[in-house]
Structure 1
Amino acid sequence: MVKNKIRVLLIDDEPFSRDELRHLLLTYPDFNVIGEAQSAEEALEKIIHLEPDALFLDIEMGDKNGLELACTIQKLKKVPFIVFATAYPDFAVKAFRVDALDYVLKPFDEEQIFDAIKRIRKAFSAEGEQNGKRPYSNEGLGKLAVQEDETIHYIDPKEIDYIYRDGNVTKVISHGKEFVTRYLLKDIEEKLADHSFFRTHKGFIVNLKQVEEMTPWFHGAYQLKLLNVKEEIPVSRHYVKKLRLRLEI
C-alpha cells in the first residue's frame, strides 16, 4: 500500500482530455485522481471542498479561464500545485507568473507527463519536510508499471527476466510475455537499483537471479543464457568484469 498518495484534481471542459489524463496518471500508483471539474466555477468548489495536492488545469474553458482560476486560488490557505495542461503554448509565460510547476501541451505526451509528475513529487516532498511531516517517498512502491494493449499491469521485479530497448520503446519480458513501459532504461536502472538487476549492454538490463550461463561471443563480449528464456542476452565487454563480480560468490 502506498502511503502519502498525491491527491490530484483534473480540470478541463473536454471529457476526452480528462479521460486521457486520468488514464496516464493510472500508471503512477502514488497518485490518486480524487475528482474532475469541467469549469472554473465547479473547480473552485471542489478545490475548497476536497483540498487536492495538485491540479492539472486547462486554460481555455469557455467561462472563466484557468489562469484566472489560478490567481483566485492563491488566496486560499492551502494552494495546490498547478500543472497547466492546454493546447495553447502562448500562455506559458503568464502561467509561470502564478507559480505553475509545469506546462504540458495537448495532445499529451507520456514523457511530458512524466516530467510533470517528477516536479509534483519533488514539490510535495519539499512541502512535507517544511511542515514537519513525513516527507513523501517514491521508494518501496514495489512494482513496475507496464502496459499490454490498453491494460496496465504492475509487475513485481522478481517476476522480470530482462528489459531491453527496441527502437523508441522499452520492453519488459516476464514469464515469456512481453510488455511495454514508458520508462527509459536509465530510469528503470535507477528504480531497480536495490534489486538484483544489472545493465549488461546499452540496450539491456537483466535479472541476475535468472542467469544460468555466460558464454564467450566475440571481441571480448559475452552472451547470457537465462532460465526459461530462449533468447540470449548480449554482454558488452566493458561490463563483463563487473558482471562476473556480481554473479560469483
Structure 2
Amino acid sequence: MGMTVMVVDDERFSREELIYLLAKHPSIEVIGEADSGEAALMKTIQLQPDVLFLDVEMPKMDGMEVAQSVQGLKKVPEIVFATAYSNFAAEAFRHEAVDYLLKPFDEDQLSEAVERLEKKLIGSSDLAVKAQTPAKLAVEEDGEISYLDPGDILYVFREGRLTKVVGKNKVHDTKWSLKDIEERLEPFSFFRIHKSYLVNLDYVDRLTPWFNGAYQLELKGYKERLSVSRNYVKDLRKQLEL
C-alpha cells in the first residue's frame, strides 16, 4: 500500500519539478495537480488524496487557507507545505503540517518528508514487509515458472512429496514444502487450518461443526469442503471474527 498525493502550486515549473522528484519514491503515487487554491479544494474533494504538497503563496486562496478548508472534509489529507520563504514555518505547523519544504527543492529534505509521511500513513513495519515480499508466488513446473497472484490462490495442501497450490482455474504442483509457501505468503491472508492445509481467509464462506471438535470449511465458489483440525479451530475463529 502506497500514498496518493496531489501537488498544488500556481507555478507550472514548480509543480513539474516536485512531481519529477516525487516519482523517485516508490511509496508515492501522484494522482493529481492543481494550479490554484480553489482548484486544489475541488480536486481534493474529488480525488481524496492521502497527502497535499501545498504551495503557500498563491493568489486569491493561498495554501494556508486551503489547509484550513480541507480540515472540514470527511477524509482530511496530510499537509506538506512548500514555499520560497522560511518565515511561514511557524504558521505552517499550526496547521499540523507533517513537514515544510523550502524552494528550490532539496532532494534530501524531500526524502525526509516522505519518510515522515510513510511512518505516519503506512508504518515502518508495513514498508519493511512490502520491500521484502515478492508480488507473486513463483511455482516451477516441468521447467517452466508460473507466477501466481496470492489473491487468486484458494488454498495450499501437502500430498505425498508434492505441495499443491489450488488456484481459481488450475492446480499447480511444487516441490516446495508447505512451510516454505506459508512463509512466503505470510504477509497475505493465509492461515493454517490443518498440519497439511493452508487456506486463503478471503475465500472462507462457512465453518460447520463436524465431529470430535473438528470443523469443515466451505470456500466461496468451491464445492469441496476442507477439514479444520480441532487444534486450529480456536485461532481460526479469532482470525475470521470481529
Following superposition, the deviation at residue 88 of structure 1 comes to 1.4
Number of the residue aligned with 1:117:
114
Q: Which residue of 2 aligns with 1:54?
A: 51
Letter of the aligned partner of 1:82 in structure 2?
I
Aligned pair 1:141/2:131, yes or no?
yes
Shift of 1:49: 0.5
Larger gyration radius, structure 1 or structure 2: 2
Deviation, 1:125, is 2.5
Look up the match of 1:44.
41
Alpha-carbon distance, 1:62 to partner: 1.1
* Paired AA for residue 34 in structure 1: I
The ranges of structure 1 where at least 4 consecutive aligned residues each deviate by more than 3 angstroms after the TM superposition are: 138-142
Q: TM-score by structure 1 length?
A: 0.51
* Equivalences for residues 84-233 of structure 1 within 5 A: 84-125=81-122, 136-141=126-131
Q: Give the equivalent residue in structure 1 for 2:60.
A: 63
Letter in 2 for 1:41: E
Which residue does the alignment assign to 1:13?
10
Q: 1:6, 1:73 → 2: CA distance?
A: 18
Opposite residue 46 of structure 1, the aligned amino acid is: K
Contact 1:59/1:86 (<8 A) preserved: yes
**Which residue number in structure 2 is paired with residue 238 of structure 1?**
none
**Alpha-carbon distance in 2 for matches of 1:115, 1:71:** 24
Count how many residue pairs are aligned between Structure 1 and Structure 2: 132
Distance, in Å, in 2 between the alignment partners of 1:140 and 1:89 is 36
- Partner of 1:91, secondary structure, is helix
Deviation at 1:140, TM superposition (A): 3.9
Alignment map for 1:15-30 (pairs within 5 Å): 15-30=12-27
How far is 1:30 from its partner?
1.5
Rounded Cα–Cα distance in structure 2 between residues aligned with 1:63 and 1:73: 16
Counterpart Cα distance in 1 of 2:49 and 2:120: 14
Q: CA deviation at 1:136?
A: 4.3
Identity %: 50
Q: Distance in 2 between matches of 1:77 and 1:138?
A: 30
TM-superposed CA distance for 1:141, in Å, is: 3.5
The answer on whether the counterparts of 1:30 and 1:138 sit within 8 Å (CA) in structure 2 is: no
RMSD of aligned residue pairs (Cα, Å): 1.7
Change (3 A) 1:11 1:138: farther
User: What are the superposed Cα offsets for residues 34-76 of structure 1, whole Å, 9 maximum, x if unpaired?
Assistant: 0000000000011001000001000111111100110111111
- Counterpart amino acid of residue 51 in structure 1: Q
